[in-house]
Amino acid sequence: MRQSATEVANRLLAGETAAGARAIRWLDDRDPRGAQVLAEIYPHTGRAQAVGVTGPPGAGKSTLTDMLVAEWRRLGRRVAVIAVDPSSPFTGGAILGDRVRMGRHALDPGVFIRSLGTRGQAGGLSRSTQDAALVFDAMGFDIVIVETVGVGQDEIDVVNLAHTTVIVAVPGLGDEIQAVKAGLMEAGEVFVVNKADRDGFDATWRQMDLMLHLRAQALPDLRWDVPLLRAAAAKGEGAEEIVSAIEAHRLFLEREGEFVRRHGARARDQVLILVRDALAAIAFDLAEEAVLQQVEARTLDPYRAAEQIVSTLTNGVVTA
> Given the rule CB under 8 A, which residues bind another protein?
1-2, 17-18, 21-22, 24-25, 28-31, 87-88, 91-97, 99-101, 103, 106-107, 112-115, 117, 119, 281-282, 285
Smallest gap from residue 103 Cβ to another protein (A): 5
Determine which helix (DSSP H) or strand (DSSP E) holds 295, and give its type and residue range: helix 289-296
Q: Decide whether 61 or 101 has the Cβ nearer to another protein.
A: 101
Q: Decide whether 95 or 182 has the Cβ nearer to another protein.
A: 95
Smallest gap from residue 16 Cβ to another protein (A): 10
Q: Decide whether 25 or 44 has the Cβ nearer to another protein.
A: 25
Smallest gap from residue 256 Cβ to another protein (A): 35
What Å distances lie between residue 281 and 125, 230, 285, 311, CA to CA?
Answer: 21, 46, 6, 15
Smallest gap from residue 33 Cβ to another protein (A): 11
In DSSP notation, 227-287 reads -EEE-BGGGTBTHHHHHHHHHHHHHHHHHTTHHHHHHHHHHHHHHHHHHHHHHHHHHHHHS
Tell me which DSSP letter residue 87 carries: B
Largest separation between any pair of C-alpha atoms in the chain: 67
Q: Decide whether 21 or 267 has the Cβ nearer to another protein.
A: 21
Q: Decide whether 107 or 297 has the Cβ nearer to another protein.
A: 107
Q: Are 194 and 233 in contact (CB under 8 A)?
A: yes
Smallest gap from residue 303 Cβ to another protein (A): 25
Smallest gap from residue 45 Cβ to another protein (A): 20
Separation of alpha carbons 135 and 4, rounded Å? 16
Q: Decide whether 88 or 178 has the Cβ nearer to another protein.
A: 88
Q: Angle between the 302-319 and 258-286 helix axes, to the nearest 10 degrees?
A: 100
